[in-house]
């Protein structure tokens, strides 16, 4: 119980734009009033956006399956950055890039007998060298993506990672280590399986050694999906309903 914890990480590639084409300033002054009025009147416009306006999957190793995910934001992403010098208040855009198949495993443990106490989480992010290499490949893919004929004319400056780091593997590793952030896809701490030595539930999601107790969320996944966990978790819940009704 609590072992096999892992999660997706991503890094933000931030660039400024030559023209005022981003969402910078859309939440202030007359622009904010206009966007609010459009949503109230027509239920359309900027306020219907989740800000993640585009997404892509890439196979960085040529293995026939995606191992990199990209999200596009029409604004500079600094909401959950590490402490330090903030990004400039200018028009820009961001690519969130991440490695989809982490190998490092962490652990979730109880802190005490008091259920109200916060748990102890040892995430062990980037604890496997393949995870560092995969994250660097994700960043490099994002940088190449920004060089495409559709995007390059829009870009003024690369803000993060700093241009001097791009061709230096050690600097790129430092960038990944210092600026990686969770994608909030934690899985695995109650993994399913037939072996009671290394799993918490069986293949019907029943907790080993207990009756009438199931775990129905993404913690039962032995390996995180190569993408977002929302839809697979909904599928797990629907499957659990079928299993329970069939008993």
Those residues with Cβ within 8 angstroms of residue 225's Cβ, 6 or more apart along the chain or in another chain: 232
Annotated catalytic residue: which of 35, 91, 185, 208? Answer: 185
Give which of 19, 140, 20 is closest to 70, Cα–Cα: 140
CA–CA dist 237, 217 (Å, integer)? 7
Whether 185 is catalytic: yes
CA–CA dist 9, 98 (Å, integer)? 6
Q: Per the structure block, which two tokens stand in for 93?
A: 């855009």
CA–CA dist 1, 207 (Å, integer)? 10
Beta bridge partner(s), residue 97: 11, 70
In this structure, are strands 155-160 and 9-17 parallel, antiparallel, or unpaired?
A: antiparallel
Q: What is the DSSP string of 198-247?
A: T-SB-TTSBBTT-SS-B--SGGG-SS--SS-SHHHHHHHHHHHHHHHHT-
Residue 88's CB is within 10 A of a number of other CB atoms, namely 13
β strands within the chain, DSSP E: 3-5, 9-17, 54-58, 68-73, 92-99, 106-109, 120-122, 155-160, 181-182
> Which helix or strand (DSSP H or E) is residue 41 part of?
helix 29-42
Which residues are marked as active site?
A: 185
């Amino acid at each position: 119980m609590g072992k096999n914890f892992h999660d997706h990480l991503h890094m933000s590639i931030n660039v400024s734009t030559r023209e005022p084409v981003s969402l910078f300033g859309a939440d202030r002054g007359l622009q904010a009033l206009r966007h609010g009025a459009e949503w109230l009147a027509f239920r359309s416009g900027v306020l219907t956006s989740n800000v993640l306006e585009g997404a892509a999957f890439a196979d960085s190793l040529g293995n026939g399956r995606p191992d990199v995910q990209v999200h596009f934001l029409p604004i500079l992403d600094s909401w959950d950055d590490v402490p330090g010098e903030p990004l400039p208040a200018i028009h820009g855009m961001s690519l969130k890039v991440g490695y989809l198949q982490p190998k490092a495993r962490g652990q979730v443990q109880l802190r005490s007998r008091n259920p109200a106490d916060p748990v102890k989480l040892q995430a062990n992010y980037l604890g496997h060298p393949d995870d560092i290499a995969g994250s660097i490949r994700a960043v490099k893919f994002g940088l190449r993506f920004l060089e495409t004929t559709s995007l390059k004319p829009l870009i003024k400056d690369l803000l993060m990672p700093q241009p001097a780091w791009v061709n230096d593997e050690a600097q790129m590793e430092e960038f990944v280590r210092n600026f990686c952030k969770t994608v909030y896809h934690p899985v695995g701490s109650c993994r399913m399986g037939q072996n009671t030595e290394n799993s918490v539930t069986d293949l019907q999601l029943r907790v080993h050694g207990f009756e009438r107790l199931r775990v129905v969320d993404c913690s039962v996944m032995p390996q995180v999906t190569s993408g977002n966990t929302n839809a697979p978790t909904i599928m797990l819940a629907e499957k659990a309903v079928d299993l329970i009704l069939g008993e």
